Amino acid sequence: MIRLVVAGLLFALIASPGRQLAADEDFDGTPAEKELISLLNSIDEQFATHWQEAREFEDPDLQAEFLKANDPALECVPKLLAFEEQHRGTLAGLMALRRIISMAARGGRVDSPSVQGRREVLDHLSNYADRPELLVLLSSLGNGIFESRMEWKP
């Protein structure tokens, strides 16, 4: 029961980019889950800085160019995929994939790093077939820009 509560909290927090996650001594997570929270806090700081810098552009074209050239997902997606590889099959590994999916849900270009990362996530999901939390993750795959590969077909 405790694991389900921890899993639920991780799903809720990981799906909410921009919110600092607490990973103190009172958190009843595994070392991998605590490591993931630290990684996610770092990623959220990168995105916050990125958006703050983008707001300084008055010209929308220059802002769009800056956003594309400096997208934190260029670094974050590979870090999350590497984390998932180290923790494959665990809840922490699945949550790393969940963050990539939520990054892609913000939309953007079809060639953006987060959308490309979402495509790569599909190749990793079979490693989590026995995890009940997978169903929640699958329900969010279609968020973001439309790609037929992301649609569920019964």
Structural domain includes residue 22: no
What sign for the dihedral angle of Cα 42, 19, 136, 111?
negative
Q: How many domains does the chain have?
A: 1
CA distance 46 to 32: 21
Q: Which pLDDT score is estimated for 34?
A: 92
Full domain range(s) for residue 87: 2-15+32-150
pLDDT of residue 15: 47
For residue 26, being part of any structural domain is answered with no
Q: What is the phi-psi region of residue 143: left when phi exceeds 0, alpha when psi lies from -120 to 50, beta otherwise? A: beta
Structure tokens at 120: 């790569």
Name the average pLDDT for the chain: 80
Low-confidence residues of the chain, pLDDT below 70?
Answer: 1-26, 107, 142, 144-154
Task: Check residue 68 and give its pLDDT.
Answer: 82
pLDDT the model gives residue 39: 95
In a domain, 103, yes or no: yes
106 belongs to a structural domain:
yes
Q: What confidence score (pLDDT) does residue 9 get?
A: 46
Is residue 133 within 8 Å of 94, Cβ to Cβ?
Answer: yes
Residue 54 lies in a domain: yes
Euclidean distance between CA atoms 29 and 7, whole angstroms: 9
Residue 27 belongs to a domain: no
Which pLDDT belongs to residue 4?
46
